[in-house]
Structure 1
């Protein structure tokens, strides 16, 4: 599948008659909220885990030197904590462009911190997209992140802001925190400003 998913996403859902829908954010959508929303609540989804397995050629890297950003991979029993936003469907005009590098919208069940549930959408970059990088040792991922930078800034900034946001949510993400630790131990995060 092409890394550019804008048209795929626009053809996946018919929002006619829909006034608002929940969107689940688990990566930069947690801390870079550059879209209007009607409501915002911490939430989680089941059977998915966050992984730095997606290449970023358009935001946190370049085609020649891609960065790494998070996607979700299936894991039965796993719980991925993030932030849910209730949005108007017209917000996807912007988000489909922002998330165009390999991400498709999927339906998911969100569980809010109070135990209530709702159906919503989540962007996931699946392994069949051109930008998917897949598994690598945490130290190697940290090195790649330390070296990468793109139009949205240094890849290290993405990692550090995500780790801080997850802590603020009370989310346990050993994968993200291990890569953050490797980044700090290499001293290669100076490009992010610390």
Structure 2
């Protein structure tokens, strides 16, 4: 699948007659809320884990030196915490462009912290997109993140802001926190 998924996403869902829909964020959508929303609530989805397995050619890296950002990978029994936003469907005009680097919109059941549930949408970069990097040792991922920089800034800022946001949510994400620890070691070694 092509890296640019804007048109593909716009053809995936019909929002006819829909006033508002939930959107689940698990990466930069937790802390970089550059879109209007009607409501915001911590939530989780089941069967998925957050992984730094997607290349960023357009925000946190370049085509020549891509950064790494998170996507979701299926894992039975896993729970991924994040932030849910109730948004107008018009918000996807902006978000489809923001998330165009290999991410597709999927429908997902979400559970809010109070135990209530709702159906929502989530952007996932699946392994069949051209920017999917897949698994690598966490220390190697940290080194790639430490050296990557794109139009949205240093890749390290993405990782550090995500880690801080996950702590604020009370989430334990061993993958993110291990890469953060390796990144801090890389930065200390280079200083």
Give the TM-score range, shorter chain: over 0.9
Secondary structure at 1:104 match in 2 = strand
Q: Distance in 1 between matches of 2:66 and 2:184?
A: 20
Instruction: Report the CA distance shift for 1:89/1:189 in structure 2 as closer, same or farther (over 3 A).
Output: farther
> Which residue number corresponds to residue 177 of structure 2?
177
Q: Distance in 2 between matches of 1:130 and 1:190?
A: 31
> Which residue number corresponds to residue 31 of structure 2?
31
1:187 offset after TM fit, Å?
1.6
Residues 16-65 of structure 1 deviation map (CA, whole Å, 9 limit, x = unaligned): 00000000000000000000000000000000000000000000000000
The count of aligned residue pairs is: 191
Secondary structure at 1:187 match in 2 = helix
Residues 120-156 of structure 1 deviation map (CA, whole Å, 9 limit, x = unaligned): 0000000000000000000000000000000000000
> Which residue number corresponds to residue 136 of structure 1?
136
TM-score where L is the length of structure 1: 0.97
> Which residue number corresponds to residue 126 of structure 1?
126
> Which residue number corresponds to residue 97 of structure 2?
97
> Which residue number corresponds to residue 13 of structure 1?
13
> Which residue number corresponds to residue 154 of structure 1?
154
Equivalent pair of 1:146/1:188 in contact (CA under 8 Å): no
> Which residue number corresponds to residue 78 of structure 1?
78
Structure 2 gap ranges (5+)? none
Runs (4+) off by over 4 Å: 188-191
Q: Distance in 1 between matches of 2:11 and 2:184?
A: 42
Q: Distance in 2 between matches of 1:32 and 1:168?
A: 14
TM-score where L is the length of structure 2: 0.98
> Which residue number corresponds to residue 2 of structure 2?
2
1:3 offset after TM fit, Å?
0.3
Structure 1 gap ranges (5+)? none
Secondary structure at 2:90 match in 1 = helix
